[in-house]
Chains A and B, each alone.
Chain A
Amino acid sequence: MQELVNPVILSRLQFALTAMFHILWPVLTVGLSLFLVFMEALWLKTKHRHYYQQIRFWNRLFLINVAVGVVTGIPMEFQFGTNWSVFSTFGGDVFGHMLGFEATMAFMLEASFLGVMALGWNRVSPGLHFFATCMVALGASLSAFWILAANSWMQTPTGGVFQGGRYVVSDNLAAIFNPDMPWGVSHMWVACLEITVFVVGGISAWHLKKKQHVPFFLRSFKTVAVAAIVITSLQIWLGDGSGLSIAKTQPSKVAGIEAHWKTNPPGEGASWHIVAWPDIDKQDNAWDLSIPNLLSLLTTHSLTGQVPGLRDFPREDQPPIVLPFYAFRIMVGIGFLLFFLMLWTLWTWRRGRLTAGETWKQKNLLSAWMAAIPLSYLAMEAGWVVREMGRQPWIIYGVLRTEHGATNIAPGPMIASLSVFAIVYLFLFLVTMVFCRRIIRQGPDLQ
């Protein structure tokens, strides 16, 4: 109970809850807006009715998704001030201006053109409507860029110096283009695309299985299946690249994620644990099941590369282990499952089984695509657990500790806000699911 009235714990719980809930929506906004740009471009080019029908159907899901994303996004920006005021003063010189850019450069663009995109069909020419859709998509992706750049700066802070209780910028571009930024941005942006292809594909699969609107959903299914070939492979490559980069920039995070305690001696490879149970007091694993040399191979691309162990770090600087360790395995596991699903789809398609008359018979394949919807979201959430918990005990890696970043106010209002967030977001989730279900079951308007 004593733990719960601690403002740091309360603020962390609230941030985790609101961030993990919020991120469910913008990922689809980023990806689906690009899907809509693609469909609208085809429609403008070919003038085929069926592309227009695609736009109108997916647009309905897009808009409801944007609405929840927007209302849950505003609390994210404000919480830095309300709950993390010490961090905001300390890191505001870098972090604040990136959020400012996100708002002016990205979010404003998305918000202003969204009105035209959603309600302007009869008020602007098709060309201008397409332009509005492009601006919404650009705004959404730019948003992802700035948020991830800011988050990456918390992982690998560069471009400034610690001075008089504040982190003062010496080079703004170095802060924005910090070492983790290219990996953070690309890995998350591709995650948005990956989730979108499986959401569009999964919904299409559900209708195909029921033999409803087959030509319509076969078209969307095949479109995203082609995209999935590139996206799932690219994501695995980016994940590997991120791992290599983090091994250099945040060694304690890698050691934590892998429950790797002892630095491997020169000439010997570090082994990779499939499962493990860490014992913090012993500073070792109580038990583990391992593959020799694999950790060295994964993090250094050499069989005997040296990987610093957790024991190299003072106990108070060690990250939590159990959650990041298993979350990482969930993310990677799902990443590969989705890759195999793509191969399976490709194989079925090449054998000529994905035709209008036959696709419904591929019941297992279609069910797998439906299961891929929650799995792809789960992989993304697990990835964020790895990224954020792995950074602990730091809020700005190596510079400011999380416990020193929170606002120190009476716990009463914090407990109240945390509880209301939990209730309101649960309510939002249920209502949104009811409406999404209604839109999906209704299917496209083919008039």
Chain B
Amino acid sequence: MTETLSPYLPQIWLTIIGFFLLYYAVTDGYDLGVGIISLWTRHEEDRGVLMNAVSPVWHGNQTWLVVLGGMLFGAFPPFYSILLSSLYIPMVVMLFGFVFRGIAFEFRGHARKKRLWSLSFGIGSLVVTLAQGFALGGLLGGLDVRNGRFVGTPWDWVNPYAALVASGVLCGYVMLGANYLILKMEGDLQKRNFRNAIRASLLTLLISAGVHLWTALRYSQVARKWTHVHDSYAIAFFCVLALVSFTLVFCSLAKRREVAPLFWNVAVIIFSFTALSAGLYPDMIPGGIATPVTVREAAASAKTLIFMLGATAVLLPVILTYNTYAALKFRGKV
């Protein structure tokens, strides 16, 4: 078993890591989106309602990032090291954003001046989102890696391409947040979020189309895959699915459905993420400037990958079970 598996271990782990990333982006994405929406929610009471919509689940959702970080560290140590050290500024800024977002729930409950802590929730969420967006943009834009070491400057992530990716992440999270709130809210707050969702979805569609195009123009291997018949089918397949899901998001929003928008929103993220990663594969760090780092080079030893795979195969179903259980206990309107 070990012998047959070992050539594919890095790919298997890339898929698992991709799953963690998607799970995190979707679940904490709506928490962060709710936080950003709270920034233009006028009444303090309403902001409290928004926070209550995520308070039982945000901690579990955020933990997928810790899982993602830990597993990435274990499965791809060099990638983890290069990614975090070369994107030092957005990563550290994200950590500070998490401090203010996370602390807001408990502190708001105890505070006499609620305003301060709902602001901490909103601004913290915005800071985390932008930092993640710029970090993703910095990574997709290519890191200057030579001989396994980052040799660029700490400010390389400041560029128009990364800014476009960051605005895409921002709109995407707001879209998720609004669709989640449609599910959890009633009356006026729900109505307002139908509006939020439509606007954010439109912007997300435009920006993500822009990101896909710009990425294809930047990297020859992406462009090649788009023009090679065999490869382009696979990518086009996911792009079409993403577009169909987008259409269904709009349709269900127009029909004022409560569950469907969130469902199709998740589908949009899964399909467009898959299309984007399929274009870049096998590079983990695309070589925008210097030599790219591939999946194989970045992986840990086969021994560790097998060991982690065994543990994950047992743990992941358990985690998903109790996560679903906890989420079901808090279903329904706030």
Contacts and interface: CB of A to CB of B under 8 A. Distances in A.
Interface of A: 63-64, 67-68, 70-75, 77-78, 80-83, 85-86, 88-89, 91-105, 107-109, 111-116, 118-120, 123-124, 135, 166, 168-170, 172, 407, 409-410, 412-414, 417, 420, 424, 428, 431, 435, 438-439
Contact of A428 (B69, B99, B301, B308): B99
A194 to B, nearest CB: 25
18 contacts: A67-B106, A74-B98, A81-B73, A82-B88, A82-B91, A92-B73, A96-B75, A97-B73, A99-B73, A101-B311, A105-B315, A116-B56, A116-B329, A120-B329, A124-B329, A409-B88, A424-B96, A438-B110
A403 to B, nearest CB: 16
Contacts of B322: 109, 112-113, 135
A426 B96 CA distance: 13
Main secondary structure of the interface of B (DSSP, over half): helix
A92 B78 contact: yes
Interface in B83-102: 83-85, 88-89, 91-92, 95-96, 98-99, 102
A85 B85 contact: yes
A109 to B, nearest CB: 8
Nearest to B315: A104
B99 A72 contact: yes
B105 interface: yes
A410 B150 CA distance: 12
B251 interface: no
Interface of B: 55-57, 59-60, 62-63, 65-67, 69-75, 77-78, 80-85, 88-89, 91-92, 95-96, 98-99, 102-103, 105-107, 110-111, 148, 150, 153-154, 300-301, 303-304, 307-308, 311-312, 315-316, 319, 322-323, 326, 329-330
**Listed residue (A72, A86, A108) with the most chain B CB atoms within 10 angstroms of its CB:** A108
A400 to B, nearest CB: 13
A410 B84 CA distance: 14
**Listed residue (B69, B95, B102) with the most chain A CB atoms within 10 angstroms of its CB:** B95
Contacts of B98: 71, 74
Contact of B107 (A89, A95, A431): A431
Contacts of A96: 70, 72-75, 77, 80, 300
Contacts of B88: 82, 407, 409, 413-414, 417
A95 B308 CA distance: 12
B237 to A, nearest CB: 31
Contacts of B59: 70, 111, 114-115
B301 A169 contact: yes
**Listed residue (B66, B82, B312) with the most chain A CB atoms within 10 angstroms of its CB:** B66
A322 B313 CA distance: 48
**Listed residue (A78, A80, A118) with the most chain B CB atoms within 10 angstroms of its CB:** A78
Contacts of B74: 92-93, 96-101
Contact of A169 (B71, B153, B304, B312): B304
B148 A108 contact: no
A166 B95 CA distance: 28
Contact of A103 (B67, B105, B301): B67
Given A81-B91, A97-B74, A124-B329, A111 B106 contact: no
Contacts of B92: 82, 413, 417, 420
B249 to A, nearest CB: 28
A169 B300 CA distance: 9
A97 B110 contact: no
B107 A88 contact: no
Nearest to B68: A103
A435 to B, nearest CB: 4
Given A72-B99, A100-B71, A103-B63, A119 B56 contact: yes
A150 to B, nearest CB: 10
A19 to B, nearest CB: 14
A188 to B, nearest CB: 19
A94 B74 CA distance: 7
Given A100-B308, A111-B59, A88 B326 contact: no
Contacts of B70: 77, 96, 99-104
Given A80-B73, A97-B300, 10 more contacts: A74-B95, A81-B85, A88-B73, A91-B77, A93-B77, A96-B300, A97-B73, A100-B67, A101-B308, A108-B323
